[in-house]
Amino acid sequence: MSPRPRAIRGMHDILPSETPVWGHIEARLRALMEGYGYAEIRMPILEQTDLFKRSIGEVTDIVEKEMYSFQDRNGDGLTLRPEGTAGCVRACIEHGLLDRPQRLWYQGPMFRHERPQKGRYRQFHQFGVEAFGLPGPDIDLELILLSARLWRELGLQGLELQLNSLGRAEERAVYRERLVAYLQAHATDLDADSRRRLHSNPLRVLDSKNPALADILGGAPRLLDHLGGESRAHFDALCAGLDACGVSYRIEPRLVRGLDYYGLTVFEWVTDRLGAQGTVCAGGRYDGLVAQLGGRPTPAVGFALGLERLVALVREQGLEPPPAAPHLYLVAVGGAAQAQAPRIAESLRDRLPGLRLQVHCGGGGFKSQFKKADRSGAAHALILGEDELERGVAGLKPLRAEGEQIQVPLEDLPAWLRERILGR
RNA sequence: GUGGACGUAGCUCAGCUGGUAGAGCGCAGGAUUGUGGUUCCUGUGGUCGUGGGUUCGAUCCCCAUCGUCCACCCCA
């Protein structure tokens, strides 16, 4: 047997049995964003490799070892986007959208060459929100509020909001020195990973999951204690806003970011129900990025949400929507009935927008067609056989509820269906 | 990139200390030749992930490889 083609490792087909949950979540997201006055933007999946190096940071794991980068036929260095913010900022600068505040959202596949595991895939989908030109904590608060609303609308339980402030770059630099000094004083107790990061990315040491380091890290100097007045006020205002809106949160002084462009507010929505990949949604402020990519200095804040993880949570909590089964399954037996069926079905669709009508194809007797009707999940079977054609009627049989099969004259069918099946 | 577990029918799995494979579900048909869902019957199904090795003989043992899952790491 010749080897059958397989999907690329870490890249999954989303099958018909799964698309209803996806569609449900995507519809909620779209409605949510419309409700808050955000506009959709769509960017290419490919960008110049340099864009990601300049934004995400040269020494991050993403850029160093996880990007799908290649040269195209012109020899240009291209990369399948590993996240959405960089491309969104690029698009905004390129099209001059930043002369006024912008509230944007997008959605689509992202690519990172990581070892696949639960909640982590090489092609995955992110929903992202970015707000530009708004420097204050009010917009930070809005982003958190709208994410909290999403969990409520989906019915999700068990998500915890973690919050921190990374301060301004100067404040972070001072803190960084103190942290390094502290960690070096305890270097003998650190694990190999942490010692390596001590110089490359010391803030990330705080992220370590190694329980042996808990005491050392617990005693480390705290970033929050190194904030300047303005940074502190920004953070306090955000917290006050969350309090006022009744959103509970946990201040997590060790919450940092893997991407270089973040400052001030950072937050994560975390769950313990998805195994090791517990972050469902994460974001923060990145006031420096627009200028860093060649635009005018523009404050910015955003977050990204992992759709696979959200889908997994929705399923884990049994919140999947019921599938949209047909209202009607048209059973047509015999040559004459089969020939009439498409015309009758189209005429019903013309007169009854919103009708979900599946027409049987492929012939067969009543028995097999009814079997298909049942499998389709349809509420009723609409039946056309020789008898019905002769009498100018259609049979209508309930498949999900008690009740006898009845005959309805073809000309009365639209009105009848409108009232009894569509309920209007 | 590192570690562990696991690859048998479309799906979920069984298969004893090595003797070339089974079940349930699904799918198709039938039990009333104009009626599904329950029940019963019949049928459809697999080079046991792939390639080597050991053996008279390998789904089973050994090696390699690919893949899946979980964790580390990383992150959404």
| CATH number, domain with residue A389 | 3.40.50.800
Place A113 in a pLDDT band, splitting at 50, 70 and 90: very high
pLDDT, average across residues A184-188: 84
Same domain membership, residue A267 and residue A414: no
| Nucleotide closest to A397 measured between CA and C1' | B35
- Is A25 part of a structural domain of the chain? yes
More reliable by pLDDT, A88 or A262: A88
From the CA atom positions of chain A, what is the Rg in Å? Answer: 28
Q: What is the mean pLDDT of residues A218-222?
A: 87
* Average pLDDT, integer, range A110-118: 92
User: Rounded to an integer, what distance in angstroms lies between the CA atom of residue A356 and that of residue A349?
Assistant: 8
Which nt sits closest to A210, CA to C1'?
A: B72
CA to C1' distance (Å), from A13 to B28 = 27
Distance in angstroms (rounded) separating the CA atoms of residues A262 and A56: 9
Q: Has residue A65 been placed in a domain?
A: yes
Between CA A51 and CA A286 the distance in angstroms is 16
Q: How far in angstroms lies nucleotide B20's C1' from the CA of residue A2?
A: 22
Q: What is the ipTM of this complex?
A: 0.87
Nearest nt to the A126 alpha carbon by C1'? B76
At which residue do the structure tokens 């569509």 appear?
Answer: A422
Q: Which nucleotide is nearest to A306 (CA to C1')?
A: B76
Averaged pLDDT for residues A213-234: 89
Which residues is A104 bridged to in the sheet?
A: A39, A130
Quick one: A143 and A280 in the same domain?
yes
CA of A49 to C1' of B6 (A): 37
- Note the maximum CA span of chain A: 95
Write down which residue in A259, A290, A316 finishes a domain.
A316
Q: What is the mean pLDDT of residues A319-348?
A: 93
Closest amino acid to nucleotide B66 (CA–C1')? A9
> Partners of A105 in the beta sheet?
A40, A129
Same domain, A264 and A145: yes
Q: Which nucleotide is nearest to A60 (CA to C1')?
A: B74
Q: Are residues A366 and A415 in the same domain?
A: yes
**Residues spanned by the domain of A269:** 19-167+227-316
Nearest-CA residue to the C1' of B76?
A306
What pLDDT is attached to residue A373?
94
Residue nearest to nucleotide B70 (CA to C1'): A117
Q: What are phi and psi of A88, to 5 degrees?
A: -65, -45
pLDDT reading at A422 higher than 60 = yes
Residue A171: pLDDT over 60: yes
Please check whether residues A247 and A312 belong to one and the same domain.
Answer: yes
- Count other Cβ atoms within 10 Å, centred on residue A199: 9
- Residues A410, A299 share a domain: no
- Å separating the CA of residue A391 from the C1' of nucleotide B69: 60
| Structure confidence at residue A216 as a pLDDT band (50, 70, 90) | confident
Judgement on whether residues A381 and A258 belong to the same structural domain of the protein: no
A221 CA – B65 C1', rounded, Å: 49
Determine the pLDDT at residue A152: 97
Q: What angle do CA A163, A34, A38 make, to 5 degrees?
A: 60
Higher pLDDT, A18 or A234: A234
User: Nearest nucleotide (C1') to the CA of residue A307?
Assistant: B76
Residues A50-69 have a mean pLDDT of: 89
With tokens 């019915």, the residue in question is A155
Which tens digits make up the pLDDT trace of A233-259? 999 999 999 999 999 999 998 888 767
How far: A367 CA to B42 C1' (Å)? 17
Through-space separation of residue A117 CA and nucleotide B61 C1' in angstroms: 31
With residue A56 as reference, give the H or E element that holds it: helix A49-56
Does residue A373 fall inside a structural domain? Answer: yes
CA neighbor of A237 nearest in space, from A372, A340, A136: A136
Nucleotides of B under 7 A from a protein CB: 1-3, 27-30, 33-37, 47, 66-76
A218 band by pLDDT with thresholds 50, 70 and 90: confident
A374-387: pLDDT as tens digits: 999 999 999 999 99
Lowest pLDDT segment from A156-165, A176-185, A339-348: A176-185
Crossing angle for the helix pair A192-200 and A169-185, nearest 10 degrees? 140
Residue in the block written with tokens 């509820």: A401
Provide DSSP, A166-184.
---HHHHHHHHHHHHHHHH
Whole-number distance in Å between A289 CA and B62 C1': 56
Residue ending a domain, among A316, A343, A363, is: A316
Provide, in whole angstroms, the distance separating residue A371's CA from nucleotide B24's C1': 21
Q: Is residue A128 part of a domain?
A: yes
Nearest nucleotide relative to A3: CA against C1': B50
Nucleotide nearest to A365 (CA to C1'): B34
Read off the pLDDT of each residue in A103-130 and give the average, rounded to a whole number.
Answer: 95
Nucleotide of closest approach to A389 (CA, C1')? B34
| Spatial distance between the Cα atoms of A276 and A266, rounded to a whole number of angstroms | 20
Residue A3 has pLDDT above 70, yes or no: no
Mark whether A259 and A408 lie in a shared domain. Answer: no
C1' (B14) to CA (A365) span, angstroms: 38
A184 band by pLDDT with thresholds 50, 70 and 90 = confident
Total of domains in chain A: 2
CA A104 centroid distance within chain: 14
Instruction: pLDDT band for A229, please (50, 70, 90 cuts).
Output: very high
Domain boundary among A316, A336, A367: A316
Q: Assess whether pLDDT exceeds 50 at residue A187.
A: yes
Tokens of A256: 């940092």
Q: Is the pLDDT of residue A2 over 70?
A: no
pLDDT recorded at residue A380 = 95
Residue nearest to nucleotide B30 (CA to C1'): A367
Which pLDDT does position A401 carry in this prediction? Answer: 87
Q: Tell me, what's the pLDDT at A1?
A: 39
* CA atoms of A148 and A156, how far apart (whole Å): 10
Averaged pLDDT, A320-336: 91
Instruction: Say if residue A348's pLDDT is above 50.
Output: yes
Sequence-ordered strand ranges (E) for A85-185: 102-111, 123-132, 160-165
Amino acid in the structure at residue A318: G
Does A214 reside within a domain? Answer: no
pLDDT, tens digit, 9 for 90 and up, residues A271-281? 998 888 889 99
Range name among A97-111, A174-188, A208-222, A338-352 with the lowest pLDDT average = A208-222
- Share the mean pLDDT of chain A: 92
Report the distance from CA of residue A63 to the C1' of nucleotide B26 in Å, as an integer.
Answer: 46
Report the pLDDT value the prediction gives residue A355, as an integer from 0 to 100: 95
Residue A51 CB coordination number (10 Å): 17
CA distance A167 to A161: 19
Residue type (1 letter), A344: I
Q: Please indicate, yes or no, whether residues A279 and A400 belong to a single structural domain of this protein.
A: no
CATH value at residue A63:
3.30.930.10
Mean per-residue pLDDT for A70-79? 94
